[in-house]
Chain A
Amino acid sequence: MRDWPLYEIFIRSKNGLNHKHVGSLHASDPQMAIQNARDVYTRRNEGVSIWVVEANHITASNPDDAEVLFDPATDKIYRHPTFYELPEALKHM
């Protein structure tokens, strides 16, 4: 158990929706991770599909980089429809 990798678990609650991260668990291999995820996360019909990904296969952005990565979008107000004023007569476009 000590050497069992950690798996991140993603559940699709309904066809048409994205798989969504729900949590993680340890398992000896991906098949076992699916079985355990089924028992842990779908006991009340929460899902129709399960994805498991070994946690160390996920490359995550560094929280220290958040400013560099995401701040440049904040002053680009022209990417939003509300930046463009429509005439009174035309409020739905």
Chain B
Amino acid sequence: MSTHSLEDRFQHLIDHEEKIEARDWMPDAYRKTLIRQISQHAHSEVVGMLPESNWITRAPSLKRKLALLAKVQDEGGHGLYLYSATETLGISRDELIEQLLTGKAKYSSIFNYPTLSWADIGAIGWLVDGAAIMNQVALCRTSYGPYARAMVRICKEESFHQRQGYDILLTMSKGSDEQKEMVQDAVNRWWWPSLMMFGPNDEASPNSAQSMKWKIKRLSNDELRQRFVDATVPQAEILGIQLPDPLLQYNEARGHYDFGPIDWEEFFEVVAGNGPCNKERLAARVKAHEIGAWVREAATAYAEKQKNKIISTVSVA
């Protein structure tokens, strides 16, 4: 069979909503795109633990601390599911980690913003996780089986993340004037970066068409962004806060909220490594990897010792 007909057959399967599994034939570019996308997603889960862990020791109550710990713990687990899914495509965990630590691989730019007050933890849960869930629910139907299954598991676990964030903001918004100001300030800072999480506008996203054809992506960046805005505005009203966009208003004709233009210059600056916390985040990951070296060495040494024990027992017998 020629490559051409293999590709036709592959596309035919995709068109008929069949899933692709690890041992199935796939075009090289499909494999490469998936490795890049799923590993970026994995890196984002892992780096995403950093801004939130900043507040674990300073959570205002034991209840909030337990919830935040549980959320950060989930994110570590989500990174693991996604790294494992990436490895089914023929790349090693070590290579993936190296790509993150050397800065060769990207992670979601949102995590390069700082968490300045406790209200930021609420805003991250509500807006950042809300945006992530919007994207991830769509990805439960992605064409690559191991990725889709990881997404189903992640979405199920993540359903509490957004609620705990909203709950934090709801409580603070019923508090003192100072607490209300903290909520408004956090939302002011996180709103636009959250909208940027969906990526460039469709016409400025050249790889999107191929990813849509392969059903790696199921909805376009702009479609997902619109869904997020539509879902979030009523939630902001219940909180009694203003979303920082004077152009935000319901468009009867479209049946959607219109919103103002996004500052893509800021987005690309952060992607390029010039956001407020890029260097700090990467340095924290590198440091964690380095100071964790003894754990990996000890585990290997222990496994080696156990193996030798078994061999010596066998040879004595």
Assess whether B163 is in contact with A93, with CB atoms less than 8 Å apart: yes
Assess whether B145 is in contact with A83, with CB atoms less than 8 Å apart: no
- Residue of B at shortest CB range from A78? B67
User: In the complex, which residues 1-47 of chain B have their Cβ closer than 8 Å to any Cβ of chain A?
Assistant: 18-21, 23-24
Across-interface contacts of A79 in B (CB, < 8 A)? 70, 74, 160
With A84-B163, A84-B167, A89-B238 already in contact, the answer to whether A16 and B145 are too (CB < 8 A) is: yes
**Among B74, B148, B160, B167, which residue has its beta carbon within 8 angstroms of that of A16?**
B148
With A15-B19, A15-B145 already in contact, the answer to whether A81 and B159 are too (CB < 8 A) is: yes
| B interface size (C-beta, 8 A) | 25
User: In the complex, which residues 261-288 of chain B have their Cβ closer than 8 Å to any Cβ of chain A?
Assistant: none
What string of 1s and 0s marks CB contacts (under 8 Å) between B208-240 and chain A? Answer: 000000000000000000000000001100100
What string of 1s and 0s marks CB contacts (under 8 Å) between A62-93 and chain B? Answer: 00000000000000101111011111011001
Assess whether B163 is in contact with A49, with CB atoms less than 8 Å apart: no
What string of 1s and 0s marks CB contacts (under 8 Å) between B185-203 and chain A? Answer: 0000000000000000000
Across-interface contacts of B20 in A (CB, < 8 A)? 15
CA distance A90 to B148 in the complex (A): 28
Across-interface contacts of A14 in B (CB, < 8 A)? 19
Assess whether B234 is in contact with A90, with CB atoms less than 8 Å apart: yes
Indicate the member of B70, B74, B163 with the most A CB atoms within 10 Å: B163
- Give the dominant DSSP class at B's interface: helix
**Among B19, B24, B70, B145, which residue has its beta carbon within 8 angstroms of that of A76?**
B70
Q: Does B66 make an interface contact (CB < 8 A)?
A: yes
With A80-B160, A93-B235 already in contact, the answer to whether A18 and B149 are too (CB < 8 A) is: yes
Assess whether A86 is in contact with B160, with CB atoms less than 8 Å apart: no
**Among B23, B148, B166, which residue has its beta carbon within 8 angstroms of that of A93?**
B166
Assess whether A78 is in contact with B163, with CB atoms less than 8 Å apart: no
What string of 1s and 0s marks CB contacts (under 8 Å) between A18-29 and chain B? Answer: 100000000000
Assess whether B238 is in contact with A15, with CB atoms less than 8 Å apart: no
Across-interface contacts of A90 in B (CB, < 8 A)? 234-235, 238
Across-interface contacts of A18 in B (CB, < 8 A)? 149
CA distance A49 to B235 in the complex (A): 45
CA distance A89 to B74 in the complex (A): 28
Indicate the member of A16, A17, A87 with the most B CB atoms within 10 Å: A16
CA distance A80 to B145 in the complex (A): 26
Q: Does A38 make an interface contact (CB < 8 A)?
A: no
Assess whether B66 is in contact with A78, with CB atoms less than 8 Å apart: yes
Across-interface contacts of A93 in B (CB, < 8 A)? 162-163, 166, 235
Across-interface contacts of B159 in A (CB, < 8 A)? 81
- Residue of B at shortest CB range from A18? B149
Assess whether A86 is in contact with B18, with CB atoms less than 8 Å apart: no
Across-interface contacts of A49 in B (CB, < 8 A)? 21, 23
Assess whether B166 is in contact with A86, with CB atoms less than 8 Å apart: yes
**Among B148, B163, B238, which residue has its beta carbon within 8 angstroms of that of A81?**
B163
Across-interface contacts of A89 in B (CB, < 8 A)? 234, 238
- Residue of A at shortest CB range from B164? A84
Say how far A93's CB is from chain B's closest CB, in angstroms.
Answer: 6
**Among B24, B63, B170, which residue has its beta carbon within 8 angstroms of that of A78?**
B63
Since A16-B148, A83-B163 are in contact, a sample of 4 more A-B pairs with Cβ atoms closer than 8 Å, ordered by chain A residue number, is A16-B21, A76-B70, A78-B66, A93-B235
A-B contact pairs, 5 of them (CB 8 A): A15-B21, A15-B145, A49-B21, A78-B66, A84-B164
